[in-house]
Structure 1
């Protein structure tokens, strides 16, 4: 049987503890549990979004090749967050690690209350689009039918995002 690999784009974020260490540990666990990390953006320091009364984030986009389904990737990502100390106490709150699924190949996935891919707000968030454009500028959003670089160019979010 031939395994079919899917390209999954994820955004990693951390604003608690040793943020760079959290990112490295998340990538190590993603490689062990989900698939090969083939592309990585630079690290970006970003102002918090939604709840602005918290420390700045480090964010990074990655592309992973996996044989897992979208729901399996989500389950593994949530488990990795938990292993790395993520506690979900408030919406848009501080966190040791956040792993968001942005794209799963060119699939459109909707599982009520669990998962929506493409990420439903990614096109409105500079902290997602800046690092994503670094590794997937010409990737076409399967719902909006626009390249990531075009979504970034037309973005109205002026939240501070600085490449480190």
Structure 2
């Protein structure tokens, strides 16, 4: 079994219900090891207008990285994801942040996620659940990545988590 780390988020619809339902769908084919708290975060990337809810989920799977990618894209579509514009508003976005300690670079998939070190909305929940996990490319822990991140956009704990 491989450990896969997913970043899950969305900023349209009933954000919390969609997030929790997506996690339930992911559980149908993978086993949850850890879940971060849910965070409300400012939109990142310039094309989104509403704040997001984000969470990191650590899972175990027997699927290959490409199979996981296909599965998470299926879960996104089941939750109303429409790919109209990059970094635009969406009901659901699921990114593969890490796949064990593998470094993957294909036309469809880059792991570790290439923008991970630059995004507080990913690093804060990552540092919560995997503070000492070392990034396979730069050797820094998630806690160190968060401390060095220059992203100053708001990331706050969602009430009730």
Query: Does TM, scored on the shorter chain, surpass 0.5?
Result: yes
What is aligned with 1:63?
58
- The 5 Å alignment of 1:5-154 reads 5-33=1-29, 35-51=30-46, 53-112=48-107, 114-154=108-148
TM-score where L is the length of structure 2: 0.96
Please give the alpha-carbon distance, in whole angstroms, between the structure 2 residues aligned to 1:16 and 1:81.
13
CA distance in 1, matches of 2:63, 2:105: 16
Are the aligned partners of 2:9 and 2:52 in contact in 1 as well (CA < 8 Å)?
A: yes
> Post-superposition shift, 1:53?
4.8
Report Cα offsets for 1:93-152 as digits up to 9, x if no partner: 11111000000000001112x100000000000001001110000000000111010011
TM-score of the superposition, structure 1-length normalised? 0.94
RMSD: 0.8
Unaligned runs of 5+ in 2: none
Runs of 5+ consecutive residues of structure 1 not aligned to the other structure: none
Following TM superposition, by how much is the alpha carbon of 1:52 offset from its aligned partner in structure 2, in angstroms? 5.4
Distance 2:141 2:17 in 1: 31
- Aligned pair count reads 158
